[in-house]
Structure 1
Amino acid sequence: MITRQMLLCHLNELYAVQQFQDSCPNGLQVEGCPYIERVAVAVSATLETIQQAVRHQCQALIVHHGLFWNRDPYPVTGSKKEKLSLLLKNEISLLAYHLPMDAHASIGNNWKAALDLGMFDLTPFGCYDKMFIGVRGKRKPESVAQFKKSLEEYYQHPAHTAFGGRDTVEEIAIISGGAYKMLHEAVGTSIDAFITGSFDLPAWNEAREGGINFFAMGHHASERVGPKALLKHLESTLGIPCVFVEEDNPF
């Protein structure tokens, strides 16, 4: 058992939250029970993940996408009211870490994926509000077709692709989630492949015309990496039992 404050302090220090200007509050979003025996970890604070946290008898839920965003309307109605009510009724603390969970250099969505994929010579990449949230590096040369298979196996999600670059992939950039809008940072560099989560029409043209291979692995799938890595970190450092709450989200 640990205290809520102990968990909060540990995570805020781990993710260096004070360094980030984000579109949401990072850290504690909903206060629950002061003592924690079990933690649920998930990608997003959806109704389904909160319900599963209740079923698993967790006192805290840690997510990448929380309940509150800067541009949200102030009234608490509809599904937000339902989720908030469920958290409060069951005294579950909600903690959310958005950009800090993307950027962490060992258990973040991007760096952890790079390490798992066997990349080396890693350096920060993808500047968002004066902070680097992604990573670039090299990998043993591989054909585009084989690299696509490797990504689909790792992320457990089909890739949406636009092939505009070399037939061989060696230098790679990764920015998870909705970072297709940052593709321009890779165009015109030595990067062969740009990996992100979601995509939109402009990415197709920009990749093909900019001479780079583009891989969208699913917003949700690309951001399971950090929460799963955090789960292992918490169990090994704080000795607190954790459960990863999965959702069948194809987007």
Structure 2
Amino acid sequence: MVMRKEILDWCAQQLAVAQFRDFSPNGLQVEGRDEVNSIVCAVTASQAAIDFAVAQQADMLLVHHGMFWKNEAAAITGWKKRRIQTLLANDINLVGYHLPLDAHQQWGNNVQLALRLGWQVDGCGGEQNLVQYGSLAQPLTAAELAWQLELSLGRVPVLLCADQQQPVRRIAWCTGGGQGFFQYAIEAGVDAFITGEVSEPQYHLARECGVVFIAAGHHATERYGIQALACVLAEEFGIRQQFFDESNPA
């Protein structure tokens, strides 16, 4: 028998939760039953993920994107009410880890993406060490790097550059909504920066600074950290786990 508190305490320590300034609470967000024998993990605490956890009779839904964010309305109405109502009716714990999971150097989204793509990890930097940097196993053109990402992640990325044939060896990356770190990557002297989302300014910076920018999907780039964490929890505590994915193009 594994108690929820054991899992939460272990995660708080291993993910160094207290060290991060975040936009949402890390750890328990909706309280369910005390005992945990089965976990469903997902990128986001969507209604579809919650319904899947119910169908699997899970005791915990473990996610990267939880349900409570700074600057959003505090009222529990509409979609938020429906999600919470489903969790409470089925006594399922909702547990989320945001920035601590992005930055973790073993199970984090950044490191796990690098493992999937075969990138060498050399270090991290930027605000709260949320930007990873390293190099490709062998030089690629910008177009080839975008194609590698498309094949691996199953999403067509947005490629911004002055020349699709320009060579890429040194890279930096930040999964999810890391487009704001592009300037940091440029100043770090890399050939390309990979993240999940794109905003209007990145088009101009890529062309004017000669650094490739690739947006490979917020959801697509952040599928792997939560799975790595769930696998470790399953091994550490002897509980069942499974991953719920969605066809989210964003």
**Partners in 1 of 2:46 and 2:201 — Cα distance?**
29
Which has the higher mean CA deviation after the structures are superposed, 239-248 or 161-170?
Answer: 161-170
Q: What code does the residue aligned with 2:61 have?
A: L
Q: RMSD between aligned alpha carbons? A: 1.4
Structure 2, gaps ≥5 residues long: none
* 1:197 partner letter: G
Q: Is the 8 Å Cα contact of residues 153 and 221 (structure 2) preserved in structure 1? A: yes
CA contact (8 A) 2:66 2:96 kept: yes
Instruction: Note if 1:35 corresponds to 2:26.
Output: no
Residue 136 of structure 1 is matched in structure 2 by 133
Paired residue type of 2:139: P
Aligned to 2:144: 146
1:12 alignment partner in structure 2: 12
Q: Over residues 188-220 of structure 1, what are the superposed CA-to-partner deviations in whole Å (9 max), with x where a residue is unaligned?
A: 432011000011221111111111011101111
Q: Verify the 8 A CA contact 2:3 2:35 in the aligned structure 1.
A: yes
Q: Aligned partners of 2:237 and 2:143: how far apart in 1?
A: 41
1:141 partner SS = strand
| Distance of 2:65 and 2:236 partners within structure 1 | 23
Offset at residue 186 of structure 1 (A): 1.2
Question: Which aligned segments of 4 or more residues in structure 1 are displaced greater than 6 angstroms?
Answer: none
Shift of 1:164: 3.4
Q: Report how far residue 145 of structure 1 moved.
A: 2.2
Deviation at 1:118, TM superposition (A): 2.3
Q: CA deviation at 1:119?
A: 2.4
Secondary structure of the corresponding residue to residue 86 of structure 2: helix
Distance 2:187 2:70 in 1: 33
Tell me which amino acid in the other structure corresponds to 1:144: A
Residue equivalent to 1:51: 51
Corresponding pairs, count: 248
Maintained 8 Å contact 1:102/1:134? no
Please state if 1:168 is matched with 2:167. yes
Shift of 1:237: 2.2
Stretches of structure 1 lacking an aligned partner (at least 5 in a row): none
One-letter amino acid of the counterpart of residue 81, structure 1: K
Is residue 111 of structure 1 aligned with residue 108 of structure 2?
no
Asked if structure 2 preserves the Cα contact closer than 8 Å seen for 1:194 and 1:213, the reply is yes
CA distance in 2, matches of 1:42, 1:11: 16
Amino acid at match of 2:100: P
Partner secondary structure for residue 2 of structure 1 = coil
3-state SS of the aligned residue for 1:32? coil
Determine the C-alpha separation between the residues in 2 that align with 1:52 and 1:242: 13
SS in structure 1 of the partner of residue 170 of structure 2: strand
| In 2: Cα distance, 1:221 partner to 1:118 partner | 16
| Structure 1 residue 181: Cα displacement | 1.6
Give the structure-2-normalised TM-score: 0.95
Q: Is this contact kept in 1: 2:119–2:135, CA < 8 A?
A: yes
Match 1:159 to one of 146, 157, 160? 157
User: Residue 120 of structure 1 corresponds to which residue in structure 2?
Assistant: 120
Amino acid at match of 2:141: S
Question: Any conservation in 1 of the 2:62–2:230 contact (CA below 8 Å)?
Answer: no
Identity %: 38
Q: Which residue of 2 aligns with 1:75?
A: 75
- Retained in 1: the 8 A contact 2:114–2:121? no
Please report how far the alpha carbon of residue 233 of structure 1 lies from its aligned counterpart in structure 2 after TM superposition.
1.6
